[in-house]
Structure formats: C-alpha cells, structure tokens
Amino acid sequence: MNKVLFGPAGYPNEARGNVQRVFTILREAGMDALEYAAVYGLQTKDEKARLIGKLAKESGVSMSLHAAYYISLASKTSRIRESSKKRLIKALKFAPLMNVKRIVFHPGSLGGLGEIEAHTVIREGLKSVWQTAGDLGGGALLAPEVAGKLSAYGSLEQVIRLCQEVDGCIPTIDWAHLYARSQGEINDRESYLKVLNRFEDELGELFVDNMHFHISGISFTGKGEVAHRPLGEEWGPDILPLVEIVQECGYKPTFISESTNPLQGALYAKFLFEELEKGSK
C-alpha cells in the first residue's frame, strides 16, 4: 500500500443498498476504502460478491470485510466455537470474489475461561481456520480487532500475541475501543505513539505494511464501550494527534470510520490529513 486510505464501514445511507450507487458515491466523495459490513452474517450470494469485487476494482476502492459480531471462538458451547470458525472460513473463501484483503472480527468473550486458557482456545481455533482456508483467501488476512468492552477478549496485548502466534493474522486497531478500554487515557500524541511503537516493536513489518485502523467517537463507562458516536464532536477520542503522527512518520494505514455517520467520519479524517499535508509542503 503506497498511500493512506479512507473509507466508511458499511454502505453509505444514500445508496439504499444499490451496489452500483455505493461505489459511485464513494468515488464522488474521494473515498478509496470500504469495509463491507457482514456483521449479522455473510449472506451475499456468489454473483453479488463478484459484482462487488468488480466494482471495487474498477473504482480503486480497497476492500475489507467485518465478519459477524456473534463470533465466539472461546464459547462454552463447542457448537458455537465450530460455527464461529466456519464463519471465518466462509469469509476467506468469499474474499477473492469481493476483492477483500482484510477480514476484521472480534474473537468474542472469554467464555467463562481464564485469560490464558481463553487465549489458547482462540489461538488454536484461528490456526485451524487458517490451515483450512488460508490459501483460499487470495491473499486476504484475518484481522482480530481490539475490543471496546473490558470483559471481552481483545486487549492490545492479546491482539498482539494472536498476531505473533497465528499465521495470517494482522491487528485491527480500533482507536475508539482503546480509548474506552483505557477510560479515556489513550487520547493524545504521547499515548498514540506509545501504542504504535509497541505494535511496531512487537510485529515489525507485519504491522507497518498492513495498518488497519477503525476510528469513531465513543461513549463508555467503567466497563468499557457503550456506543459509537460522531467523530469530531463532543465525544473522544481526538484523532488529530493520530493523523499528525501518520503524516509525520509516513505510515500508510487504512482509516475505516465506524462513527454514526461513517461516510461523514471518513471525510472528516481525510480532511484533517489533507490539511496537514498542505501545511507540510
């Protein structure tokens, strides 16, 4: 990837589900990324998936896919563990059709297990997924996401360990989730740099070459995330210091907006970046 990319999570509301219109809107808005929302299951038929991939390629839009929210690789129920793996395997199989390069997902809860045991179960589940379908994904990678709730599996440390121990895994850093998990502390230049340096130190080029960021405003309690909110308004985190670091360091992440109006949020982030670019010339 040779430039910073910006795009929404899910189709723009104005498209009303019309796939052709989706990519027209993205093109007109200057967006170059889209995270396909399969958060309630990947129900797209092969023909529709191929159309999405064709339009994305023609429009120069980089595709990722957010897998189902109800994946739970450490569930108490073996049936749920197996169905969770099958959802990720299906996403890998569909990835080449849709031109998808990142499959974002939440590993799920701890399932009543201790942190070490839950990590082992989740790690082995992902290894099984990758062994089964990694070579079917056309270069797509699994991208476990930092979780917003403190009770969920998905701390910064846990995501890093998964990416160290499982082939085919790269991290998705959800900065709003980190803000909620840290109770508002990860919100300035120093804290952003600390997180980025840790990922780079621990994962090296695997991280630097595959940076995938989620951004939005967020509300939270002592237990973590409550709800996503608009970017750039009264809710944190403040993404300007993060965008400044990206511009100064020459990082090339994909910014996916998960704010309540995802396209508006992506446009806001792109505006910040472009203003900084102008100032540096």
Query: Residue 3: its pLDDT value, please?
Result: 94
Query: Residue 1: its pLDDT value, please?
Result: 63
The percent of residues above 70 in pLDDT, for the chain, comes to: 99
pTM assigned to the model: 0.96
Place of tokens 């940076």: 211
Asked if pLDDT for residue 279 goes beyond 80, the answer is: no
Query: Residue 13: its pLDDT value, please?
Result: 87
Q: What is the 3-state secondary structure (H, E, C) of 188-210?
A: CHHHHHHHHHHHHHHHCHHHHCC
Phi, psi dihedral angles at 146 (to 5 degrees): -60, 130
pLDDT in tens, 92-146: 999 999 999 999 999 999 999 999 999 999 999 999 999 999 999 999 999 999 9
On whether the CB atoms of residues 253 and 4 are closer than 8 A, the answer is yes
Superfamily covering domain 5-280: Divalent-metal-dependent TIM barrel enzymes (3.20.20.150)
Dihedral sign of CA atoms 265, 177, 228, 105 in order: positive
Asked if pLDDT for residue 281 goes beyond 80, the answer is: no
* The Cα angle at residue 214 between residues 209 and 220, in degrees rounded to 5: 145
pLDDT in tens, 212-271: 999 999 999 999 999 999 998 889 999 999 999 999 999 999 999 999 999 999 999 999
Q: In 3-state terms, what secondary structure has residue 138?
A: coil
Query: Residue 277: its pLDDT value, please?
Result: 87
Asked if pLDDT for residue 22 goes beyond 70, the answer is: yes
